[in-house]
């Protein structure tokens, strides 16, 4: 992997003591990080090994933590539930008293809504006739425009298809580098780059055919 010339560290100078402490306590420093970013296999393997070690270290505590948390939260939930039960009982009793008045109000609202619906229906019918006329005008105009654009779109689509092998090769190169870095990080010292397949669209015989097609549409 080519060394990146664009990586700039703008923050380490402001935290010299904590960067020294991080290096002393964990063995992590700018040199290790920048070598890994630039694709140094030794650094990537080291970080991969460190990651696997960290996973092993953190695997024991979650179960202990969750059991104790469950006990504490269970006692809290029990007492909270008692309070919630009695509060809910009071609220629901008030709802029953209110329900009778709501039924009478809703009966009047129903009658009013029926009258409003009938009035709105006739107004909506008039608007629908006008909407339909306007929509037909738009459809006819759109059909004419679509016809004019179809030829241009077809030419662009065909040229886009002819570009696929070249774009695919660019992406394949990127994917290979990404997979190699991931492989090194995940497997550390056990990694083997020969196990990572790489696509070669640019050497495929079909490229000559695509080149001929591209010339047609230039």
What separation in angstroms does the CA of 185 have from each of 40, 45, 58, 141? 11, 6, 18, 58
* Model pLDDT, residue 211: 65
Average pLDDT over residues 12-38: 90
| Domain boundaries defined on the chain | 39-216
- Location of structure tokens 């290096």: 23
Question: What confidence tier does 51 reach under pLDDT thresholds 50, 70, 90?
Answer: very high
**Token pair belonging to 20:** 């020294």
- Please report which confidence band the pLDDT of residue 1 belongs to, taking 50, 70 and 90 as the band edges: very low
Tokens of 148: 């004019």
Determine the pLDDT at residue 104. 85
Q: What is the mean pLDDT of residues 2-25?
A: 81
| CA 117 from centre of chain | 44
Gap between the Cα atoms of 142 and 104, Å rounded? 53
Of the candidates 1, 41, 44, the one whose C-alpha atom is nearest the C-alpha of residue 185 is 44
Q: Residues 152-168: pLDDT tens digits?
A: 888 888 778 777 888 88
Q: How far apart are CA 30 and CA 9, in angstroms?
A: 9
Whole-angstrom distance, CA of residue 9 vs CA of residue 73: 45
217 phi, psi to nearest 5 deg? -100, 10
At residue 24, does pLDDT exceed 90?
A: yes
Residue 139: C-alpha distances to residues 20, 127, 131 (Å): 70, 18, 12
Gap between the terminal Cα atoms of the chain:
35
pLDDT at 50 over 90: yes
Indicate whether 139 pLDDT > 90: yes
Task: Answer yes or no: pTM beyond 0.85.
Answer: no
Q: Please report where in the chains the tokens 């070690």 appear, as a residue.
A: 53
- Which of 4-8, 137-141, 163-167 is predicted with the least confidence, judged by mean pLDDT? 4-8
Burial 110-141 (b: 16+ CB within 10 A, else e): eeeeeeeeeeeeeeeeeeeeeeeeeeeeeeee
């Amino acid at each position: 992997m080519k060394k990146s010339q664009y990586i700039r560290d703008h923050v380490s100078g402001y935290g010299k003591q904590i960067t020294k402490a991080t290096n002393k306590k964990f063995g992590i420093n700018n040199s290790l990080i920048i070598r890994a970013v630039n694709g140094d296999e030794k650094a990537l393997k080291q970080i991969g090994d460190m990651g696997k070690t960290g996973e092993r270290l953190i695997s024991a505590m979650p179960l202990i933590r969750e059991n104790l948390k469950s006990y504490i939260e269970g006692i809290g939930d029990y007492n909270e539930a008692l309070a919630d039960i009695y509060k809910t009982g009071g609220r629901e009793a008030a709802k029953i008293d209110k329900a009778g008045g709501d039924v009478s109000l809703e009966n009047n609202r129903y009658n009013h809504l029926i009258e409003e619906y009938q009035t709105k229906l006739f107004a909506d019918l008039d608007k629908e006739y006008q909407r339909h006329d306007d929509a037909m005008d738009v459809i006819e105009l759109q059909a004419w425009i679509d016809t004019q654009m179809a030829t241009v779109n077809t030419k662009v689509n065909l040229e886009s298809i002819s570009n696929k092998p070249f774009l695919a090769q660019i992406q394949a190169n990127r994917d290979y580098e990404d997979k190699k870095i991931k492989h090194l990080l995940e497997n550390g010292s056990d990694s083997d780059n020969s196990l990572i397949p790489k696509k070669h669209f640019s050497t495929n015989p079909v490229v000559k055919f695509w080149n001929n097609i591209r010339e047609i549409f230039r």
